[in-house]
C-alpha cells in the first residue's frame, strides 16, 4: 500500500489531495482540508521579529482574514504575499514566499494525515508550457519546504486523470483526444492529450491569468470611487485579494443572470473603509476587457519580473483577443478540429462565461456537449495529480510483468513461423510433383508398353518439363502468396493472444492495420517488419529460378529411381542391353554404372527386349518404381526449396524467423509504452473474428481487424 499526495500549487488558491493505493480496486482522491475548506488561499502573512527577520505569522485563508482585521498601524512592519507562484523562476522573494507557504502546507499535512507523507510520494503540479528552470525551481522549493519525495507533473495530466476517474470523460473520448485548458490566476495553460501520444504539444502564456482581470476590477472600483487613495502596500492586498473575490462574485452572477446583467453590486475593504462597485454590467465588463490598460500598481509589479509583451506598450490590450490568440498559438494553425472531441476547462478563471464560447469556436466543438467544465475547478488538478501518479505506479508494475512474459511469447511466435516455413517447402514440393508426375508417368508407361529407347522417353519428359515451367512458376507464386499471408496472420494471432493474456486493451489493428493483407504489402519503407518482406522477396526470386529448373530436377530423380534400377533389376535385361552382369556393375562402381546407364538409355526396346523388360520388371513394379521416383523427387524438391530459403539472401529461413521475432519485440515494446494513464480506463476491444481469409494458419487463431489510421510497426518505426 502506498500513499500519493497531489498539490495543485496555484496562483490564487492551492488544493491538496491524497490517494491511497492498496494495489487493487478503484482509486479515490480525498481532499486534505485546511480550516475546513477543500482549498486554501495561496498567501503568506509575514511579520517582523525583534531581530528584524521576517517570520510567517499566518498563511492561507487565515492570513487573508488576519490581514483584513489589522488596522493601518498594525499592518506597518508586516507584509502579505499573494500571487507569487508565476514568478518563482525570476524572483528570490517569490521563491521565499513559496517555500514559506508550502512549508506550512507540509506542517498541516503532518498534523492531520502524517501517513500521507511517511513513505508517500508528493506530486506538485506545474504548468505544461513552463520552461525547465521553472520546473527545477518548483522542485527545489518543495524540497526546501519539507517535501523530500516531491516530483513535478504537468497540470493538464492531473485534470485529465480526474475527469477520467469520475467518468465525465469516456474512455473513447480520451482515446480520440481531449484539449485541456487550465486558466488559473497566473497562467493560461493548454495541452493536447490522447491515447496515441499521451500529453503533447503543451503551450500557453505564463503571464496571461486571472490577476489581469483582478486588476481590471481594481481599476473599475477606482473609477467609481475617485478620489481613491491607498498606499501601495495596502493596494497590493486590495488588488490581489479583495478584487479577486469581487471578480469571482461577478463571474458567478453573470453565469446565473446571463449577458443582460446590469445591476451587479459588491463591496470591498480598503484599509479601514469599504468601497463599492455599483451597477456593473456585462457589457461594460466586455468593453473594459477589450480595452484593458494595466494600472500603475500592476505595471510596477510586473516590471519587477519582466513586463509581459502585450503590456509593454501604451496601447490598450484586448484581453479576450489575447486569450483567443493564445489558444490559437498566436496565429499558428489550430489543432485539427476533427481530432479532438472534448475541451476540458479547469482552473478558477475558466469559470468565466466567455470561456465556453471562445474555446468552442477555436477548437470546433459544440459549446454545450463539447465543453466540459469541472464542478470544482479549484480542486480538480490537485486530486487528479494524486490519481495520475498512483495510476502511473500501477502501470510500472504492469509493464514489468508484461516485459517478463514477452520472451516466451516471442519464442512461441518464432517456432510457429519456423514450422510454417517447413510446411511451405513440403506443400510446394507436393503441389509441383502432383501436377507434373501424371504426365511423366504416362510417358514411361507408354515406353514400357510400346518400346523405344529410354533416352527418347527422357527427351519427351524433358519437353514436358519445359512446357510445365510456367505452371511451376504459377504454383510457386500461389504457394508463396499463401505463405506471405499466413506469416502475417500468424503474427497477428500471436500478438492478439499476447495482448489478451496481458489484458492490454489495444486492438491488433493499432499495430497491424487490416489494410495490410500480406507481409510483402507491409514492405513500404523500412523498420523491423520489412525484414520479413525482404526475406520473402529474396525467396520469391530464388524460387522463380528454381521453378525454371524443375524439369532437370525431376528427370534426375526419375532417372535415379527408374533408369539405373531398370538396368540392374535383372541379369537377363542387363545382358540383353549388352552391359554385363549385375555383379560386375555392383563391384566396379560408378564407371561401369555409367556405362550401364548409357547402354540402357540408348537401347531401342523391341518386341524381344520388351519381353525381357516385362520379365525383369512387371507393370506394377514399374508403377512402384515410378512412385519411388515421385517420392524421391518430392523429397529432393522440398530439400532444394529449403536450400533456396537459405540462399535467398539476408539469412533465409533463419532470417525470416529472426525478423518476425524482432518485429514482435518492437510491437510489444510499443504496447508497453502505450500503457499511460489512459490505458487504465481504456475499453477492451471487441472480440475479433477468429476466421480470417482463406488459407492455412497456425497459432491461437486468425483475426480480422478494423483499419486504424495510424502508423504500423510492420512498415515504420514504432511511434511515440
User: What range does the domain containing 136 cover?
Assistant: 2-166
Mean pLDDT over each residue of the chain, to the nearest integer: 75
3-state secondary structure of 57: strand
Q: Does residue 685 surpass a pLDDT of 70?
A: no
Q: What is the pLDDT of residues 231-289, one digit of tens each?
A: 776 787 788 788 889 999 999 999 999 999 999 999 998 877 889 999 999 999 999 99
| C-alpha span between 15 and 659 (Å, rounded) | 52
Residue 190 lies in a domain: no
Q: Give backbone dihedrals phi and psi of 478, rounded to 5 degrees, phi first.
A: -65, -45
Q: Between 454 and 423, where is the model more confident?
A: 423
What is the predicted pLDDT for the residue at 266?
94
Residue whose C-alpha is closest to residue 237's, from 41, 39, 10:
41
| C-alpha span between 488 and 702 (Å, rounded) | 10
Q: Between 7 and 690, where is the model more confident?
A: 7
Residue whose C-alpha is closest to residue 519's, from 498, 546, 541, 490:
490
CB 116 within 8 A of CB 3: yes
Per-residue confidence band for 680, with pLDDT thresholds at 50, 70 and 90: very low
| C-alpha span between 502 and 398 (Å, rounded) | 9
Query: Is the domain of 529 the same as that of 667?
Result: yes
CATH number of the domain within which 150 lies: 3.30.420.40
Among 355, 373, 391, give the residue marking a domain's end.
373
What is the predicted pLDDT for the residue at 332?
54
Query: Is the domain of 267 the same as that of 137?
Result: no
* C-alpha cell, 451: 518400346
What is the predicted pLDDT for the residue at 555?
52
Task: Answer whether the bond into residue 227 is a cis peptide, omega within 30°.
Answer: yes
Query: Is the domain of 100 the same as that of 217?
Result: no
Write the DSSP assignment of 172-223 as a string of letters: HHHHH-EEEEEE-SS-EEEEEEETTTEEEEEEEETT-SHHHHHHHHHHHHHH
Q: What is the pLDDT of residues 113-167, one digit of tens each?
A: 887 777 678 899 988 777 888 889 999 999 999 998 888 888 888 888 888 777 7
Q: What is the pLDDT of residues 545-589, one digit of tens each?
A: 444 455 455 555 554 444 444 443 333 333 333 333 333 333 333
For the chain, what percent of residues have pLDDT higher than 90?
20
Q: Between 39 and 392, where is the model more confident?
A: 39
Q: What is the pLDDT of residues 286-342, one digit of tens each?
A: 999 999 999 888 888 787 667 777 888 778 999 999 999 999 875 555 555 456 778
Per-residue confidence band for 53, with pLDDT thresholds at 50, 70 and 90: low
Residue 352 lies in a domain: yes
Per-residue confidence band for 357, with pLDDT thresholds at 50, 70 and 90: very high
What is the predicted pLDDT for the residue at 554?
53
- Which residues of 27-136 form beta strands (DSSP E)? 29-31, 39-41, 43-48, 54-59, 79-82, 121-126
Query: Is the domain of 414 the same as that of 359?
Result: no
Cβ contacts of residue 412 below 8 Å, gap of 6+? 494
Nearest-Å Rg of the Cα atoms of the chain is 41
Query: Is the domain of 348 the same as that of 430?
Result: no
Query: Is the domain of 346 the same as that of 457?
Result: no
Query: Is the domain of 293 the same as that of 156?
Result: no
Residue whose C-alpha is closest to residue 239's, from 155, 301, 179:
301
Residue 314 lies in a domain: yes
CB 432 within 8 A of CB 475: yes
Residue 84 lies in a domain: yes
Query: Is the domain of 79 the same as that of 139?
Result: yes
| C-alpha span between 31 and 19 (Å, rounded) | 9
Per-residue confidence band for 353, with pLDDT thresholds at 50, 70 and 90: very high
Query: Is the domain of 49 the same as that of 113?
Result: yes
What is the predicted pLDDT for the residue at 556?
52
CB 715 within 8 A of CB 525: yes
What is the predicted pLDDT for the residue at 696?
40
| C-alpha span between 83 and 215 (Å, rounded) | 12
What is the predicted pLDDT for the residue at 657?
84
Q: Provide the pairing of β-strand 43-48 with 188-194.
A: unpaired
Alpha carbons within 13 angstroms on the beta-carbon side of residue 658 total: 9
Write the DSSP assignment of 439-473 as a string of letters: HHHHHHHHHHHH-EEHHHHHHHHHHHHHHHHHHHH
What is the predicted pLDDT for the residue at 526?
34
Q: Between 396 and 104, where is the model more confident?
A: 104
* C-alpha cell, 549: 529448373
Residue whose C-alpha is closest to residue 194's, from 227, 162, 171, 223:
171
Sign of the alpha-carbon dihedral angle for 220, 221, 225, 226:
negative
What is the predicted pLDDT for the residue at 483?
82
Q: What is the pLDDT of residues 467-497, one digit of tens each?
A: 877 787 778 778 877 887 888 889 889 999 9
| C-alpha span between 8 and 384 (Å, rounded) | 9
Per-residue confidence band for 195, with pLDDT thresholds at 50, 70 and 90: low
Query: Is the domain of 503 the same as that of 437?
Result: yes
Q: Does residue 4 surpass a pLDDT of 60?
A: yes
Q: Does residue 189 surpass a pLDDT of 60?
A: yes
Residue 172 lies in a domain: no
* C-alpha cell, 12: 490564487
This model's pTM is above 0.85: no
- The 10 Å Cβ neighbour count of residue 508 is 26
Residue 498 lies in a domain: yes
Q: Give backbone dihedrals phi and psi of 273, rounded to 5 degrees, phi first.
A: -120, 170
Residue whose C-alpha is closest to residue 276's, from 266, 261, 262:
266
Greatest alpha-carbon span in the chain:
143
Write the DSSP assignment of 374-433 as a string of letters: -SSHHHHHHHHHHHHHHHHHHHHHHHHHHHHHHHHHHHHHHHHHHHHHHHHHHHHHHHHH
What is the predicted pLDDT for the residue at 264?
95
Q: Does residue 618 surpass a pLDDT of 80?
A: no
Q: Does residue 655 surpass a pLDDT of 80?
A: no
What is the predicted pLDDT for the residue at 518?
61
Among 358, 373, 388, give the residue marking a domain's end.
373
Q: What is the pLDDT of residues 397-449, one digit of tens each?
A: 888 889 999 999 999 999 999 998 888 888 888 888 888 888 888 887 888 88
Q: Does residue 27 surpass a pLDDT of 90?
A: no
Cβ contacts of residue 166 below 8 Å, gap of 6+? none
What is the predicted pLDDT for the residue at 597?
53
Residue 705 lies in a domain: no
| C-alpha span between 641 and 540 (Å, rounded) | 11
Residue 263 lies in a domain: yes
What is the predicted pLDDT for the residue at 517?
64
CB 490 within 8 A of CB 423: no
For the chain, what percent of residues have pLDDT higher than 70?
75
Query: Is the domain of 110 the same as that of 144?
Result: yes
Mean pLDDT of 13-18: 90
- Structural domain count of the chain: 3
User: What would the 3-class secondary structure string for 575-589 be?
Assistant: HHCCCCCHHHHHHHC
Query: Is the domain of 102 the same as that of 152?
Result: yes
Amino acid at each position: 500500500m502506498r500513499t500519493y499526495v497531489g498539490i495543485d500549487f496555484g496562483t490564487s488558491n492551492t488544493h491538496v489531495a491524497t490517494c491511497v493505493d492498496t494495489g487493487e480496486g478503484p482509486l479515490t482522491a480525498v481532499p486534505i482540508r485546511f480550516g475546513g475548506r477543500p482549498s486554501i488561499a495561496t498567501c503568506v502573512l509575514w511579520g517582523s521579529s525583534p531581530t528584524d527577520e521576517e517570520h510567517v505569522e499566518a498563511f492561507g485563508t487565515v492570513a487573508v482574514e488576519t490581514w483584513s482585521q489589522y488596522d493601518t498601524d498594525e499592518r506597518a512592519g508586516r507584509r502579505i504575499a499573494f500571487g507569487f507562484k508565476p514568478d518563482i523562476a525570476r524572483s528570490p522573494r517569490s521563491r521565499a514566499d513559496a517555500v514559506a507557504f508550502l512549508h506550512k502546507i507540509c506542517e498541516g499535512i503532518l498534523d492531520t494525515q502524517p501517513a500521507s507523507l511517511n513513505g508517500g510520494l508528493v506530486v506538485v503540479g506545474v504548468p505544461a508550457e513552463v520552461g525547465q528552470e521553472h520546473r527545477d525551481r518548483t522542485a527545489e522549493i518543495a524540497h526546501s519546504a519539507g517535501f523530500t519525495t516531491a516530483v513535478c507533473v504537468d497540470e493538464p495530466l492531473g485534470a485529465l486523470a480526474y475527469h477520467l476517474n469520475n467518468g465525465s470523460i469516456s474512455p473513447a473520448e480520451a482515446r480520440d483526444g481531449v484539449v485541456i485548458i487550465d486558466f488559473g490566476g497566473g497562467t493560461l495553460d493548454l495541452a493536447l492529450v490522447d491515447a496515441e501520444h499521451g500529453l503533447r504539444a503543451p503551450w500557453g502564456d505564463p503571464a496571461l491569468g486571472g490577476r489581469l482581470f483582478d486588476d481590471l476590477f481594481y481599476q473599475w472600483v477606482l473609477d467609481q470611487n475617485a478620489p481613491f487613495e491607498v498606499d501601495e502596500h495596502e493596494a497590493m492586498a486590495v488588488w490581489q485579494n479583495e478584487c479577486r473575490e469581487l471578480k469571482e462574485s461577478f463571474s458567478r452572477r453573470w453565469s446565473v443572470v446571463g449577458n443582460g446583467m446590469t445591476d451587479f453590486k459588491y463591496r470591498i475593504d480598503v484599509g479601514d473603509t469599504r468601497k463599492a462597485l455599483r451597477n456593473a454590467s456585462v457589457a461594460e465588463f466586455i468593453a473594459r476587457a477589450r480595452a484593458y490598460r494595466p494600472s500603475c500598481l500592476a505595471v510596477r509589479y510586473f516590471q519587477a519580473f519582466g513586463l509581459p509583451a502585450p503590456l509593454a506598450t501604451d496601447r490598450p490590450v484586448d484581453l479576450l483577443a489575447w486569450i483567443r490568440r493564445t489558444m490559437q498559438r498566436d496565429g499558428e494553425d489550430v489543432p485539427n478540429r476533427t481530432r479532438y472531441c472534448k475541451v476540458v476547462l479547469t482552473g478558477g478563471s475558466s469559470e468565466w462565461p466567455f470561456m465556453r464560447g471562445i474555446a468552442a469556436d477555436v477548437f470546433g466543438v459544440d459549446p454545450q456537449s463539447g465543453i466540459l467544465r469541472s464542478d470544482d475547478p479549484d480542486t480538480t488538478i490537485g486530486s487528479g495529480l494524486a490519481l495520475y501518479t498512483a495510476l502511473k505506479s500501477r502501470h510500472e508494475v504492469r509493464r514489468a510483468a508484461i516485459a517478463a512474459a514477452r520472451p516466451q511469447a516471442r519464442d512461441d511466435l518464432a517456432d510457429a513461423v519456423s514450422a510454417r516455413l517447413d510446411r511451405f517447402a513440403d506443400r510446394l514440393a507436393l503441389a509441383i510433383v502432383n501436377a507434373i508426375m501424371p504426365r511423366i508417368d504416362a510417358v514411361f508407361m507408354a515406353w514400357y508398353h510400346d518400346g523405344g529407347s529410354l533416352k527418347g522417353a527422357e527427351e519427351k519428359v524433358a519437353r514436358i518439363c519445359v512446357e510445365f515451367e510456367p505452371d511451376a512458376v504459377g504454383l510457386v507464386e500461389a504457394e508463396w502468396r499463401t505463405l506471405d499471408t499466413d506469416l502475417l496472420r500468424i503474427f497477428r494471432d500471436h500478438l492478439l493472444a499476447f495482448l489478451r493474456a496481458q489484458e492490454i486493451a489495444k486492438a491488433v489493428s493499432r499495430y497491424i492495420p487490416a489494410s495490410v493483407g500480406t507481409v510483402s504489402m507491409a514492405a513500404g519503407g523500412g523498420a523491423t517488419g520489412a525484414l520479413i518482406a525482404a526475406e520473402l522477396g529474396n525467396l520469391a526470386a530464388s524460387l522463380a529460378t528454381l521453378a525454371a529448373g524443375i524439369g532437370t530436377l525431376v528427370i534426375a530423380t526419375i532417372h535415379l529411381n527408374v533408369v539405373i534400377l531398370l538396368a540392374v533389376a535383372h541379369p537377363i535385361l542387363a545382358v540383353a542391353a549388352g552391359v554385363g552382369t549385375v555383379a560386375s556393375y555392383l563391384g566396379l562402381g560408378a564407371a561401369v554404372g555409367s556405362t550401364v546407364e548409357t547402354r540402357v538409355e540408348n537401347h531401342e526396346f523391341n518386341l524381344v527386349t520388351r519381353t525381357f523388360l516385362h520379365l525383369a520388371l512387371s507393370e506394377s513394379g514399374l508403377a512402384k518404381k515410378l512412385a519411388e521416383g515421385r517420392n524421391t523427387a518430392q523429397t529432393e524438391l522440398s530439400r532444394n526449396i529449403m536450400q533456396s530459403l537459405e540462399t535467398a539472401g539476408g539469412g533465409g529461413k533463419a532470417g525470416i524467423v529472426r525478423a518476425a521475432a524482432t518485429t514482435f519485440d518492437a510491437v510489444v515494446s510499443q504496447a508497453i509504452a502505450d500503457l499511460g494513464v489512459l490505458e487504465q480506463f481504456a475499453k477492451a476491444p471487441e472480440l475479433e473474428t477468429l476466421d480470417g481469409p482463406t488459407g492455412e494458419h497456425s497459432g491461437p487463431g486468425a483475426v480480422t481487424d478494423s483499419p486504424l489510421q495510424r502508423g504500423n510497426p510492420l512498415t515504420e518505426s514504432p511511434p511515440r
